[in-house]
Amino acid sequence: MTSRTDIVEAFAPAKINLFLHVGEKRDDGFHELESLVVFAEAGDALSFAPSGALTLTLDGPFAAGLQADGDNLVLRAARALATRAGRGAAAAIALTKNLPIASGIGGGSADAAATLRGLVRLWGLDVAWPELREIAAKLGSDVPVCVESRAAWMEGRGERITPAGWCWSIPVCSFRQRTCFERFLSAAGPARSITPRACIRAPTSSLC
142 carries an active-site annotation:
yes
* Angle (deg, nearest 10), helices 73-85 and 129-137: 130
Distance CA 53, CA 69 (A): 14
Residues 134, 169, 179, 161, Cα dihedral to 10°:
0
Given 44, 97, 111, 142, which residue is catalytic?
Answer: 142
User: In this structure, which amino acid lies at residue 23?
Assistant: G
Q: Which of 15, 44, 97, 111 is catalytic?
A: 15
Residues in the chain: 208
Positions marked catalytic? 15, 142
